[in-house]
Structure 1
Amino acid sequence: MDPLTPLDTLCRIILRAREYEAQTPSDYDEGEGADNVDDEEEGALSVLDDDMNDGIEEELQAAFDDLGEDQLAEVLAFCWVGQGTYDTGDWDEAYDEALTEVRAKSAIESLMEMPMLASVLESGMAAFELTCEGVGDLS
């Protein structure tokens, strides 16, 4: 499969999504024997990063904003394949549904809120034998 979205763009989205996920506020429940005083603050950050960086979120949002409708639908469809919502054989159906979501203006919000965005996008691409290996600094 030859993606509509350039591979380096897809890989940049994966990289930004990883950075974004690494600094997302933690959902850790203190009531289950938490003994770390650093976790006592409301909205504590995950251990992967100690400061929220709005720039990363803005960069990820901008990467999605820069995509055309067909490319954004492709990214969303790759994610759905990566999640197991669709199989590779159902690509046309996944893409058509994603295009409907893009036109309803809810695709970017869905992607920004998607758990493990980087992993599911990467898995969806891998299902079509697409990889970021050897692409820019992502290898």
Structure 2
Amino acid sequence: MPEISTEKVCYIIQKARMFDVKAEVSDPDSGSNPTDDDMRDALEDFSDDPTRQQLVAFIRGLAEDEQIALVALAWVGRGTYSAEEWDEALEAARDAHNPRTAEYLLGLPLLGDYLEEGLDAFDESCADFTENL
């Protein structure tokens, strides 16, 4: 996968997992004190969530080829393509590429797992990068 570095993918995996643990918003108009609601708002998926904002900004900041490779890697990880079909996955991701890549990827419910499985398909791992993230 020369199109995107493993370190960048590992950063996205880490942030995606932090984002994935967020729950549906139960009270969108909550104006209460965090202590009053047992800190539940901190675990809910608000659109201004800092983790989401960091993840979107990071993905948008990637070069187009890196964004395309990231989508293809997620597809390999979820089993849509195999590692041997990498060129096909890249071509399909290139054809589907648009300015909403970050939003598309964040819409995948297991993004972190898909990316990790994708790395594994290429004998790559985040083990060497977890201390630096």
Do the structures match in fold with TM over 0.5? yes
Letter in 2 for 1:61: V
Letter in 1 for 2:23: T
Provide Cα deviations, 1:37-91, integer angstroms capped at 9, x if missing partner. xxxx557xxxxx8313610000010110111110001111010001000111111
Write the distance in 1 (CA, Å) between the matches of 2:132 and 2:20: 17
1:96 aligns with 91
2:60 and 2:101 in contact (8 A); partners too? no
Secondary structure of residue in 2 paired with 1:72: helix
Write the distance in 1 (CA, Å) between the matches of 2:96 and 2:102: 9
1:11 and 1:132 in contact (8 A); partners too? yes
* Structure 1 gap segments, 5+ residues each: 27-40, 44-48
1:25 aligns with 24
Q: Is structure 2 residue 57 aligned with structure 1 residue 58?
A: no
1:20 and 1:56 in contact (8 A); partners too? yes
Write the distance in 2 (CA, Å) between the matches of 1:20 and 1:80: 19
Write the distance in 1 (CA, Å) between the matches of 2:130 and 2:117: 19
Deviation at 1:3, TM superposition (A): 2.8
Of 113, 118, 125, which aligns to 2:119? Answer: 125
Runs (4+) of structure 1 exceeding 3 A deviation are none
Given the two structures, how large is their TM-score scaled by the length of structure 2?
0.79
Relative contact order (alpha carbons < 8 A, sep ≥ 6): 1 or 2 greater? 2
1:98 and 1:107 in contact (8 A); partners too? no
Percent identity of the aligned residues?
Answer: 29
Write the distance in 2 (CA, Å) between the matches of 1:85 and 1:107: 17
Write the distance in 2 (CA, Å) between the matches of 1:74 and 1:118: 15
Q: Is structure 2 residue 64 aligned with structure 1 residue 74?
A: no
* Structure 2 gap segments, 5+ residues each: 29-38
Of 92, 111, 114, which aligns to 2:108? Answer: 114
